[in-house]
C-alpha cells in the first residue's frame, strides 16, 4: 500500500471536506449518465475504494447496471462488496493491469476517481490511451484530479488536471463536463469516447501508484 487509504477515506466523515464536496460532484455525474441510459449499463470503477461514489447512486437509480469495482485494499473492498447491489462484483485486485477487469469491458461507464493524482504523468498517459479499448462506442469516463495533492507526482507545470484534459483530447475523447473547485481542491471530468467499441486488452499494465 502506498499510503493509508483508510485514513484518506475518513475525510469523507466531514461533510464539508473537499473530498465530500468532490463526492457530490462525482455522484451527480454518474447519476446523470445513468439517467440518460436507454439500455442496460456496463460499469467499471478502478481504485474503487469503499464504493461510496458508485453504490448509493446505483441503489437509487432505475437503470439496470452490472459491472465490476476493483480495489486493492481487502478491507475497503469488503466494505464495498457488502454494500454492492446485485450485478456488481467487487474484486480485490490490482487495477493497474487490465487483467483485473478486461473481462468486464467494454464498459459504458468507467470511473477513474482518485487515481490520476497518485501515478506518474506517463502512467496517466498510458491509462488514458488504453481507455478507448475498454469502452463501448459512446462510453463515458468519469475521472478526478486533485489540484492540491501532497507530494504530487506530476512534472506538469500548472494545473495537473489540464494535462489530463489534454491527454483525453489527444486520445480522441469529447469533453462532456468539467468541474473545477479551487477552494475544495478538486477537478472532475466526464469524457465521452465517440469512436468504435474497443477490444479490451487482456493484460496491459497501465499504472502503478507511486
Ligand atoms: C484516492 S482513493 C480513491 C477511492 C475512490 N475511488 C474514491 O474516490 O472515493 C484510491 C484508492 O485506490 C486504491 N488502490 C491503490 N492502489 C491500487 C491498485 N493498484 N489497484 C486497485 N486499487 C488501488 C486504494 O486502496 C484507495 O482505496
Q: The CATH number of the domain where 34 resides is what?
A: 3.40.50.150
pLDDT digits (tens, 9 = 90+) for 82-127: 999 999 999 999 999 999 999 999 999 999 999 999 999 999 999 9
Domain contains 16: yes
Domain contains 57: yes
Instruction: With residue 7 as reference, give the H or E element that holds it.
Output: helix 5-10
Provide the percentage of residues in the chain whose pLDDT is more than 90: 94
Looking at residue 1, its pLDDT comes to 53
Domain contains 80: yes
Provide the percentage of residues in the chain whose pLDDT is more than 70: 99
Domain contains 15: yes
Rounded distance between C-alpha atoms, residue 105 and residue 95, angstroms: 13
Domain contains 206: no
Place of cell 468539467: 178
pLDDT digits (tens, 9 = 90+) for 127-176: 999 999 999 999 999 999 998 888 889 988 889 999 999 999 999 999 99
Domain contains 44: yes
CB 44 within 8 A of CB 107: yes
Least confident of 2-11, 145-154, 178-187: 145-154
Domain that holds residue 59: 5-192
Distance 48 CA to ligand 1 centre (A): 6
Pairing type for strands 135-146 and 41-46 reads unpaired
User: Which of 114, 146, 188, when mutated, tests ligand 1's pocket best, judged by the most ligand atoms within 8 Å of its CB?
Assistant: 114
Hey, CA dihedral for 88, 91, 92, 95, is it positive or negative? negative
Amino acid at each position: 500500500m502506498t499510503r493509508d487509504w483508510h485514513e484518506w477515506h475518513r475525510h469523507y466523515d466531514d461533510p464539508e471536506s473537499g473530498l465530500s464536496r468532490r463526492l457530490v460532484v462525482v455522484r451527480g455525474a454518474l447519476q446523470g449518465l445513468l439517467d440518460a441510459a436507454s439500455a442496460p449499463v456496463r460499469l467499471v470503477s478502478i481504485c474503487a475504494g469503499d464504493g461510496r461514489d458508485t453504490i448509493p447512486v446505483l441503489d437509487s437509480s432505475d437503470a439496470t447496471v452490472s459491472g465490476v469495482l476493483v480495489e486493492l485494499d481487502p478491507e475497503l473492498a469488503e466494505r464495498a462488496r457488502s454494500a454492492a447491489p446485485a450485478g456488481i462484483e467487487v474484486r480485490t485486485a490490482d487495477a493497474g493491469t487490465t487483467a483485473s477487469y478486461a473481462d468486464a469491458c467494454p464498459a459504458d461507464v468507467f470511473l477513474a476517481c482518485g487515481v490520476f493524482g497518485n501515478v506518474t504523468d506517463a502512467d496517466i498517459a498510458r491509462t488514458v490511451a488504453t481507455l478507448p479499448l475498454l469502452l463501448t462506442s459512446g462510453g463515458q469516463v468519469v475521472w478526478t484530479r486533485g489540484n492540491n495533492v501532497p507530494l504530487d507526482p506530476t512534472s506538469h507545470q500548472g494545473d495537473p488536471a489540464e494535462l489530463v484534459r489534454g491527454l483525453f483530447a489527444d486520445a480522441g475523447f469529447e469533453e462532456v463536463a468539467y468541474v473545477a473547485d479551487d477552494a475544495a481542491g478538486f477537478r472532475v471530468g466526464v469524457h465521452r469516447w465517440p469512436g468504435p467499441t474497443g477490444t479490451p486488452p487482456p493484460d496491459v499494465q497501465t499504472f502503478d501508484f507511486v
